[in-house]
A and B are shown apart, each in its own frame.
Chain A
Amino acid sequence: MIPLSWYLIVAAALFCTGIYGVLARRNSVGILMGIELMLNAVNINLVAFWRYLAPDTTTGQVFALFVLVVAAAEAVVGLALIISVYRDRRSIDAEQIDLLRW
Chain B
Amino acid sequence: MTVPQFFFILFALITLLSGLRCVTTPNLFHAALYLVISLFGVAALFAMLEAGFLALAQLIVYVGAIAILIIFAVMLTRGMVQPSGAQLNSQAGLAAVVSGALLFILLRVLPSFNYPTVDAAVPADLTTRLGQSLVGEFVLPFEVTSVLLLAALVGAIYIARERSKKTPSPPGPLSQNRKDDFGRGGAADSPLQSIAVVDGRGTGGEVVVKED
Chain A residues in contact with chain B, CB under 8 A? 1-2, 4-10, 12-21, 23-27, 29-30, 32-34, 36-37, 40, 43-44, 47-56, 58-59, 61-62, 64-66, 68-77, 79-84, 86-87, 89-96
Interface code B138-151, partner A: CB below 8 Å = 1, 0 otherwise? 10010001001101
**CA A20 – CA B88 in complex, angstroms?**
10
- Per-residue A-contact encoding for B19-36, CB less than 8 Å = 1, 0 else: 110110000100110010
Contacts of A92 in B (CB 8 A): 77, 80-81
- A69 contact set on B, CB distance < 8 A: 61, 145, 148-149
Indicate if the CB atoms of B89 and A33 lie closer than 8 Å: no
- Given contact pairs A17-B23, A40-B38, a sample of 18 additional A-B residue pairs in the complex whose CB atoms are under 8 Å apart: A10-B15, A20-B23, A23-B91, A24-B91, A25-B89, A30-B28, A32-B73, A47-B46, A47-B51, A47-B54, A52-B118, A58-B133, A71-B66, A76-B153, A79-B70, A84-B160, A91-B181, A92-B77
With a cutoff of 8 Å between Cβ atoms, the chain A residues found around residue B4 in the complex are 1-2
Instruction: Verify A17–B87 contact, CB threshold 8 A.
Output: no
* In contact, B107 and A33 (Cβ under 8 angstroms): no
Q: Is the Cβ of A44 less than 8 Å from the Cβ of B45?
A: yes
How many residues on chain B are close to A (CB under 8 Å)? 92
The number of A-B residue pairs with CB atoms under 8 Å apart is 252
Contact of B23 among A25, A52, A80, A91 (CB under 8 A): A25
